[in-house]
Structure 1
């Protein structure tokens, strides 16, 4: 059986059960452990499947994002840990971008004592928190308001980002895999691309629950990120793959 046939068979099997172990696949397809791992790596790079501990499952497709008010109550401990760790990476006198999101809001919560930063954001909750609790200089992008996400998107937000020189950007997402991050909103793609174009360094901050999900619009390739900051549930096999591609993964 050629690789393309094996990979189609793997997808068919996953259509009938949620998770399949590597051992089960080697038995059913009568090939080596290494061959199955190569097939999974190809399917994962195409965004079709995601690795889990000892096995593989289909990528989950999302068509809409949860609202800010819903997301803020999910995986709070993981987000807080990521936010604390990420904030320690911000050097003195830095221009920082905090992308819209509840994980990046946790980074903002760690900046109360900083008066040496210029923070740029498209997120209203982040801007409001920093206005009331920090001494940072703050720029909000403005633009079209995404009410559910409590942020700005579209061409106007993109325009100001392309006029800024950002030292370090913390980028959020609701869906990502080995290919990169994606979004159900085409207008968010413009903002994400502008962030990467304007930043010297870009870090993806996301808890592991977002991994293995894919949305309609691909936004940024993983190779555009210098670092990924996530939690301990992120699959070790995926860490190895990202490291081989020159992307550092920090598990907190």
Structure 2
């Protein structure tokens, strides 16, 4: 079989079962371990499959994102840990972009005490929190209002964000693979692309449950990110693959209680 035929065979096997072992694929295809791994890598880079220990599985599909009020209750400990680790990348005097999301809200809560900070966001909840809990210079993008996610998206939002040069941009997502970020909505793409394009350092912040999830619209390739901050439940193979791509991986620890440091809000 040529590579395209082998890769289609792998996808056919996965359509029948959730996970297929590498050993089984070697046996059925009659090729070497290296050849199977190479075919899986090609499929993984396209976002269609994801490696698991000793095998491969299809990426999960995301058809519609949950609203803000539901997302804030999911994986709260992991989001707090990621927020704390990501906040450690922010220094006094920086210009920071915070993408809309419940994980980036945790970053906002931990950078409120930084001095001479400028924060730009498209998220209404983040903006409202920082407006009362910090003295940073604060901008909201405006734009088309997405009510469920309490944020702004689309062309008007991205045009406003393009006015700034960010020292660091924190990007959120509900679906990502080694190929990159995707979304059920094409309106989120322009906002994230502009923020990354204007940033000296681009950081993806997302808990491990979002990995191996794919949505209809491709938004950003993983190669645009300098850093990924996630939790320690991320698959070791995924972290290793990111590092091979030249992306720094920060694994956040989740202690039993998440105490904010002095200068951060209670």
- The answer for the alignment partner of 1:147 in structure 2 is 147
Show the 5 A alignment for 1:66-145: 66-145=66-145
Instruction: Name the TM-score, length of structure 1 as normaliser.
Output: 0.96
Of 29-38 and 87-96, deviating more is 29-38
How far did 1:86 drift?
0.4
How far did 1:193 drift?
1.0
- The answer for the alignment partner of 2:255 in structure 1 is none
Q: Deviation string for 1:149-186 (max 9, x for gaps)?
A: 10001111111111111110000011111111111111
Of 63-72 and 94-103, deviating more is 63-72
Instruction: Name the TM-score, length of structure 2 as normaliser.
Output: 0.91
SS at structure 1 position matched to 2:167? strand
- The answer for the alignment partner of 1:34 in structure 2 is 34
8 Å Cα contact 1:119/1:138 also seen in 2? yes
Q: Distance in 1 between matches of 2:134 and 2:213?
A: 34
Misfit runs of 4+, over 6 Å? none
Q: Deviation string for 1:63-86 (max 9, x for gaps)?
A: 211111111111111111100000
Of 237-246 and 180-189, deviating more is 237-246
8 Å Cα contact 1:115/1:134 also seen in 2? no
8 Å Cα contact 2:90/2:111 also seen in 1? no
Q: Distance in 2 between matches of 1:229 and 1:54?
A: 25
**How many residues are matched?**
252
SS at structure 1 position matched to 2:56? strand
Q: Distance in 2 between matches of 1:32 and 1:239?
A: 24
- The answer for the alignment partner of 1:44 in structure 2 is 44
Q: Distance in 2 between matches of 1:53 and 1:87?
A: 31
CA RMSD of aligned residues (A): 1.2
How far did 1:23 drift?
2.1
- The answer for the alignment partner of 1:238 in structure 2 is 238
- The answer for the alignment partner of 1:224 in structure 2 is 224
Of 240-249 and 120-129, deviating more is 240-249
Does residue 1:183 correspond to 2:183, yes or no?
Answer: yes
How far did 1:112 drift?
3.1
